[in-house]
């Protein structure tokens, strides 16, 4: 997958939640990272005295890396993968400024109109959150 395509997926306004894709196996899996900093505007949204990354944005970061994995298969170049369902989602710990969120996703099934995937987020090797996703193609 070419770098401009990855950057296009990851820089969609308003919330690019992945800084870099570290590993990519076309259509099968991807690993991405996000450095959480005090400059991230979302960090102060829930409690200005204790900044953190909201759980829903952890799930969104996993979904963004999943989109990269799905779109890395060139047969999906002219399609848009839209998040259709989140299943078995669990946020186990909080993520704070200074943490590096590592996201690993595996695409388990791809059909003509849907894709299934699982993803997990870790900080320093400790499981932060996990979910199963269903994407539909537009």
- State the chain's mean pLDDT as an integer: 86
Report pLDDT digits (tens) over 46-55: 666 778 888 9
**pTM for the whole structure:** 0.88
Q: Can you tell me the distance from the alpha carbon of 24 to that of 69, in angstroms, rounded to the nearest whole number?
A: 7
Question: 112: burial class by Cβ within 10 Å (0-12, 13-18, 19+)?
Answer: exposed
User: Please, what are the domains in the chain?
Assistant: 3-137 (3.10.129.10)
Rounded to the nearest 10 degrees, the angle between the axes of helix 3-10 and helix 55-71 is 150
Residue 39 pLDDT class (50, 70, 90 cuts): confident
For residue 20, the model assigns a pLDDT of 87
For residue 82, the model assigns a pLDDT of 86
Report pLDDT digits (tens) over 75-120: 877 788 889 999 999 999 999 999 999 999 999 998 888 999 999 9
């Amino acid at each position: 997958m070419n770098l401009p395509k990855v950057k296009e997926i990851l820089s969609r306004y308003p919330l690019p939640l992945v800084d870099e894709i570290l590993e990519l196996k076309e259509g099968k899996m991807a690993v991405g990272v996000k450095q959480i900093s005090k400059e991230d505007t979302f960090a102060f949204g829930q409690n200005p005295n204790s900044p953190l990354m909201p759980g829903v944005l952890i799930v969104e970061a996993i979904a963004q890396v999943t989109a990269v994995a799905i779109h890395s298969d060139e047969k999906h170049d002219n399609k848009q993968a839209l998040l259709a369902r989140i299943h078995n989602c669990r946020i186990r710990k909080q993520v704070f400024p200074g943490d590096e969120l590592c996201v690993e996703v595996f695409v388990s099934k791809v059909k003509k109109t849907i894709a299934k995937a699982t993803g997990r987020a870790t900080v320093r090797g400790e499981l932060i959150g996990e979910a199963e996703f269903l994407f539909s193609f537009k």
